[in-house]
Amino acid sequence: MDQVRERARIDEIVSAHVTLKPAGVGALVGLCPFHDERSPSFNVRPSVGRYHCFGCGEGGDVIEFIMKMDGLSFTEAVEYLAGKTGVQLRYEEGGNARPREEPGKRQRLLEANRVAAEFYAEQLMGPGAAAARTFLAERSFDRSDAEHFGVGFAPKGWDALQRHLQGRGFTQPELVASGLMSQGQRGIYDRFRGRVIWPIRDVTGAVIGFGARRLFEDDQGPKYLNTPETSLYKKSHVLYGIDLAKREIAKGKRVVVVEGYTDVMAAHLSGVTTAVATCGTAFGGDHAKVVRRLLGDTTAGGGLQLTSGGTVGGEIIFTFDGDAAGQKAAERAYGEDQRFFAQTYVAVADGGMDPCDLRMANGPEAVRALVDGRKPLFAFVIQAKIRQFDLNTVEGRVSAVRAAAPEIVGIRDRSQRDGYMREVAGWIGTEIDEVRREVGRAASTPSLRRAPDRAGGDRQSGAAASSAGSGPAADGSQPGAVPQVSAPDLRDPVARAEWLALVAVLQYPQHVPVSFDDLGEEAFVVPAWQAVHTAIRAAGGVTAGREISTALWVAAVLEQAPEAVAGLVTQLAVADLPEDRESAIGAVVEGVVRNVVDHVLGRRVADAKSRLRRLDPDTEAYQTAFADLLTIEARRRTLRESTND
C-alpha cells in the first residue's frame, strides 16, 4: 500500500478532478469536489500525500480520495491506482481479495474493450450504419449526443471487430476472455453484429463491457444483448452511466435509477445527470452497494425526510413503467430499501412513458418534472397492494388492511408510520383503529414482517448507526461514522501557538529542534493538541520523522492516532505556516517549536518554584528541588539565547 501511495502523486490524481493553484510553500488549493463552495478551501500538500477541505472537513490520502470521488472500495481504489502507476500488487493467501488473473491480463482486457469502443464509435458514421443513425434520430439523439455517451455501431459481418483487434496485437484467447468474441465450432466470431452499441464503463471510466440493441429483422438474437459474465463485467455489479453520474450523485446525494440505455441518455440530456440503469438484470444488493458508496449514506438518521422536502442521507429514485411489470420491479426495489441510509422514491409518468419517450413527447422539462414529482416508494407499493382487492366489500377491505400492514411496519421512519396508517385508512375507507390493530399484529408476528434490515436494527431511528465502526466493511463502505475531535478556536493564543508547532512537526520534522522530543505528555495544554502530540510521541517523535519521507512520517503518526483524532492530524498535515518563502521555512519551524518549548519550560519553572515554597530549606528534598529549578532555568536560558542568535 505504501508503494501505491508514494507512486500515485496526490496532486496529479486530484488535478484530474479539481483545478489546483499554488497557495503558500508546498501547498495547492482548489474548490472542494465534495461540497459546493465559492472560495477555495480544499488543500493538497504533495509532500505529505494528503488533502483536507477546511470547509466540509473531508480529508485523507490519495487512496481515500479515489474511494470517495469514484465510489470505490478500498481494494478497488488500490487496484485502480496500482494500474495507473505500474505497481504490481501481491495478494495474501487466504485473504478476502477476489481471485486474480495472471499479471497484466486485466489491463489487456481493459485495453481490448477500449479499442473496441473506439472502433464501434467510428463505425457509427460509416455507410453501413444508416439504420443505427435512424434509430438514434427517431429518439431525438444527434451526433453530439452519441459522441458524449460513446454510442457506436457493430458492423453486420462476422469478423469485422476480430480483424481490427487482432491487427492491434490481441490474441484470440484474450478476445474470448473479454466477451467481445463468441466461440463457435469453426472458431471465434464477433459477438455483436448489426446492432447499436453502448459502451458500459465502471466508475473510473474504464470500458468493461457493452450493451447492444437489435436493428435488423434478420437478426434472430434477443432485442438486447450484453457482454457475458467476464472477469471485468459482472452484471449484478454494473450500472450504466455511473461514470457520468458519479460526481453529481456524490454532490447532490441523489441517484435516479431508470430502465434502459436510452433512458439514461434522455435523462442526462434533460438535466437529470444522476441517472443510471442496470444492465440486463433487476436492481439488486450489489447495485445497492455501489450506490451506497457514492451517496456516502452511512450516517445515523439517514433516510429521514425533512419538512423542507429534502432528506438526510440522500434519495434513491426509481422510474418504472406503470404496467404490471413495472409494479413488480418496484416491489423488488422495495426489497432493497433497507440497504440504504436514504429515502427511496418511485417516479411513474402519466401514461407509463419512460424518460426517453417522455423527452420526445413533451421535452426535457417533462423528464425533470417526472423526477421532481416522485413519491415515496413504500406509498407506491402499498397502493399497488391495496388495488388488488375489491374495496366495495367488507372482505376486500379487511384483506387490503392485512396486506398493507407489513409494509407499514417496514417503514423505517417511525414518525411517518402513524401518518401512513391514517393514509391507508383513507385509501381503503376503514377506521384507523382497525389499521393500527393489524399493524400491531404484523409487528409482533415475525412471519408477517418485511425482511429485516440487513445492517441490523431499525436504522431509521439511528440506534444501529450510532456506534463507532472500527474500519471498512467488506464492500469498502464505512460501517459507522466515528465522531471526530474538533479543532480548537485558533483565536486563542495558546491554541494557535500549539497548532503552529504541530503543523511544523508534521510537515518539516527535519527542521524541528531535537529538544522537542524531550517534552513530556504535559507539554501541550489544549486537549485536542495533546492527543496529536501523544500520537507523535508514539510514532517515535521527530527523531523518527527525520529518517523517512514526510508522507510516511504523517502516515506513521496516523497509525498511532485514535480514529477520532485522525481528521486533526490530516488538517495539520496540509495547513499553511505563516511564511511564503521556502528559504525561510526552516527558521519559522524552529521558531514556532521553540516557542512551545519555552512555554513548557516556563510552566516547569513555575511548578518548581511552587514546590520550593512548600519545602523546608534545611531538608535534602529542598536542595534536590532547588537543583532541578536551576537545571530548568538553564535550559530555558540556553533556548532563548540560541533563539536570539
For residue range 495-542, what is the model confidence (pLDDT) as tens digits?
888 889 899 899 999 988 877 888 877 788 888 888 999 999 999 998
For residue 43, how many other CB atoms are within 10 A of its CB?
Answer: 25
Phi-psi region of 313 (alpha: psi -120 to 50; beta: other; left: phi over 0): left
Confidence (pLDDT) at 339: 54
Confidence of residue 107 (pLDDT cuts 50, 70, 90): confident
Residue 556: strand, helix, or coil: helix
pLDDT on residue 338: 53
Residue located via cell numbers 402519466: 350
pLDDT at 53 over 80: yes
Dump pLDDT digits (tens) for 301-355.
Answer: 444 444 445 555 578 898 876 555 556 666 666 655 555 556 788 888 877 788 9
Q: What is the pTM of this model?
A: 0.64
Give the per-residue pLDDT at 344: 82
Q: Could you give the CA distance from residue 641 to residue 56 in angstroms, rounded to a whole number? A: 43
pLDDT score, position 469? 31
| pLDDT above 60 (res 627) | yes
Percent of the chain at pLDDT > 90 equals 36
Q: What is the residue-averaged pLDDT of the chain? A: 81
pLDDT over threshold 70, residue 379: yes
DSSP letter at 413? -
Q: What is the pLDDT of residue 337?
A: 55
| pLDDT tens by residue, 589-620 | 888 888 777 777 777 777 777 777 888 888 88
Note whether 528 and 485 are within 8 A (CB): yes
Q: Crossing angle of helices 242-252/285-295, nearest 10°?
A: 50
Q: How confident is the model at residue 588 (pLDDT cuts 50, 70, 90)?
A: confident
Question: Which residues does 231 contact at the CB level (< 8 Å), separation at least 6?
Answer: 101, 105, 106, 109, 177
State the average pLDDT over residues 187-206.
94
Q: Which residue has the higher pLDDT, 248 or 579?
A: 248
